[in-house]
Amino acid sequence: MHQAERRVVVTGLGTINPLADTIDGTWKALLDGESGIGPITQFDTTELKTKIAGEVTNFDSELFMPLRESRRLDRFSQLFVGASQLAFDHSGLKIRDDDDPLVGRAGVMAGVGFGGMVSFISQLDVLRERGPSRVSPLTIPMIIPNEAAGLASMRFNMQGPVSCVVTACAASAHAIGDAAEIIKRGTADVMLAGGAEAANCEFSMAAFNQAKALSTRNDDPASASRPFDRDRDGFVMSEGAAVLVLEERSHALERGANVYGELIGYGMSSDAYHVTLPRPGGAGAARAMTNAIEDAGIEPAQIDYINAHGTSTSANDATETVAIKLALGEAAGSAVISSTKSMTGHLLGAAGALESLVCLQAIATDVVPPTINLDNPDPECDLDYVPNEAREVEVKYAMTNSFGFGGHNVSLVFASGA
């Protein structure tokens, strides 16, 4: 049961993604309609159908940890620790020693889709080519998804609740919602919450290609991710991380923290339908949105902006459109909605955290980013998806949707306020 009046605010933001490694840089790129998608440079794509992705090209792990430490970590853990450091610094919190009461009242919740896939494939190659005695003794901590959360807790000496959510593309949204619940019930006062993904490799690309999920618009990478457009042909894989510092409101105000918004609604549901496809008719996704709006204590018509899951796949975009109509009713026709995956690509397990950050920036600036490449709207996707140009809109309440393989649906509602 939640303790009375325990509210959860956001006091820090950090991200490393294909557009930028700062909040301001990311936000400017989104409002300018820039694409972070390009030809793959990290591995040989000769035999792959898809040769494009969103790559983090500006990341230097040594800015966040010694080289010897970074070499022992998979890239997804490096990215999560880096984004966590940026968010922690942004929050103004200080790293505590064991005598500080906050040590046991602070924790980490990470959302990850795959974990250390690149390290897994690399060490599997070592096993096959050089034998079992040459497999790295650090393989297991490199590949397990929960390692990112554990590493962040070590970095900041957070000895409270620390865990990991693995629900595919809904993971980091789940992580943020679950972290907020931990604070509301009084188990912690501060939580780092977000996600990371670094699954760009030949194996994952081949697997998604075989599932016919990825765009093959290799000749024009910047236009490959085109949510809600009738010419969309699949999503674009991306890597990166995003982390929020969630804090109990009175704790934040007592220390004079800057408050960037409040998390007021968290809704979940399951499609209980198919291993990859959304339930036709959108009932499952709509239920997550309705649950979040009801948890927020507001009316559907009060949602000013929705950051859609908007993957650029045929099934998702049409189903999400129907689901928004079910959840918002008549208000869906006037809702302002966009998919920033058109610019960032799909960060899989980290997507929900990055898109939560977008919602908070929209609240702070009263501007919403566009859905780029929306040149020929799909008749089945007939809501206002803010095509191609950012728009000034008063945003008091913003909602983000995240849907994952397996039927996992999550919606989060953020509000302005201190």
Q: What is the mean pLDDT of the chain?
A: 96
Among 309, 359, 381, 408, the active-site one is: 309
169 is a catalytic site residue: yes
Residue 39 pLDDT > 90? yes
Residue 384 covered by a domain: yes
Angle, helices 202-210/117-130, rounded to nearest 10 degrees: 110
How confident is the model at residue 3, as a pLDDT? 58
- pTM here is 0.97
Averaged pLDDT, 287-294:
98
Among 174, 251, 346, 408, the active-site one is: 346
Two structure tokens written together for 163? 């865990």
Other residues' Cβ atoms within 10 Å of the Cβ of residue 138 = 14
How do residues 176-210 score in pLDDT, each as one tens digit? Answer: 999 999 999 999 999 999 999 999 999 999 999 99
164 is a catalytic site residue: no
Residue count of the chain: 418
How do residues 212-250 score in pLDDT, each as one tens digit? Answer: 999 999 999 999 999 999 999 999 999 999 999 999 999
Within this chain, do residues 247 and 299 fall inside the same structural domain, yes or no? no
> In DSSP terms, which residues pair with 240 in a beta bridge?
197
Two structure tokens written together for 166? 């693995």
How confident is the model at residue 392, as a pLDDT? 98
Residue 163 covered by a domain: yes
Residue 347 covered by a domain: yes
Within this chain, do residues 42 and 175 fall inside the same structural domain, yes or no? yes
The secondary structure element, H or E, covering residue 192 is strand 190-197
Q: Which domain holds residue 316?
A: 269-403
In one letter, which amino acid is 360? L
Chain centroid to Cα 34, Å, comes to 18
Averaged pLDDT, 32-55:
98
The secondary structure element, H or E, covering residue 24 is helix 23-31
Residue 242 covered by a domain: yes
Question: CA-CA distance, 55 to 151, in Å (whole number)?
Answer: 23
- Residue 98: pLDDT band with limits 50, 70, 90: confident
List the CATH number of the domain containing 345: 3.40.47.10
How do residues 104-153 score in pLDDT, each as one tens digit? Answer: 999 999 999 999 999 999 999 999 999 999 999 999 999 999 999 999 99
Within this chain, do residues 221 and 357 fall inside the same structural domain, yes or no? no
Q: Looking at 254, 285, 319, which one is the last position of a domain?
A: 254
Averaged pLDDT, 165-169:
98
Residue 192 covered by a domain: yes
Two structure tokens written together for 241? 């991380």
Within this chain, do residues 117 and 198 fall inside the same structural domain, yes or no? yes
Residue 4 covered by a domain: no
Within this chain, do residues 48 and 196 fall inside the same structural domain, yes or no? yes
Q: List the beta strands (DSSP E) in 76-123.
A: 106-111
Residue 1 covered by a domain: no
Question: CA-CA distance, 350 to 197, in Å (whole number)?
Answer: 6
Within this chain, do residues 37 and 60 fall inside the same structural domain, yes or no? yes
Within this chain, do residues 201 and 317 fall inside the same structural domain, yes or no? no
Other residues' Cβ atoms within 10 Å of the Cβ of residue 231 = 12
Within this chain, do residues 192 and 88 fall inside the same structural domain, yes or no? yes
In one letter, which amino acid is 374? L
Q: Looking at 194, 228, 254, which one is the last position of a domain?
A: 254
Averaged pLDDT, 335-356:
98
Within this chain, do residues 31 and 171 fall inside the same structural domain, yes or no? yes
Question: CA-CA distance, 348 to 371, in Å (whole number)?
Answer: 18
Question: CA-CA distance, 105 to 97, in Å (whole number)?
Answer: 13
Q: Looking at 190, 223, 254, which one is the last position of a domain?
A: 254
Residue 374 covered by a domain: yes
Tokens 């080519």, located at residue: 129
How do residues 257-276 score in pLDDT, each as one tens digit? Answer: 999 999 999 999 999 999 98
**What domain count does the chain have?**
2
Q: What is the torsion angle, in degrees rounded to the nearest 10, for the CA atoms of residue 12, residue 16, residue 17 and residue 19?
A: 90
- Residue 4: pLDDT band with limits 50, 70, 90: low
Phi, psi of 273, deg, nearest 5: -135, -55
Could you tell me the sign of the dihedral formed by the alpha carbons of 149, 103, 9, 362, in that order? negative
Within this chain, do residues 213 and 145 fall inside the same structural domain, yes or no? yes
Burial class (CB in 10 A: 0-12, 13-18, 19+), 51: middle
274 is a catalytic site residue: no
Within this chain, do residues 363 and 291 fall inside the same structural domain, yes or no? yes
How do residues 247-259 score in pLDDT, each as one tens digit? Answer: 999 999 999 999 9
Phi, psi of 364, deg, nearest 5: -70, -30
Phi, psi of 65, deg, nearest 5: -160, 155
Instruction: Name the 3-class secondary structure at 213.
Output: coil
Among 164, 169, 201, 359, the active-site one is: 169
Tokens 């000895």, located at residue: 159
Within this chain, do residues 111 and 184 fall inside the same structural domain, yes or no? yes
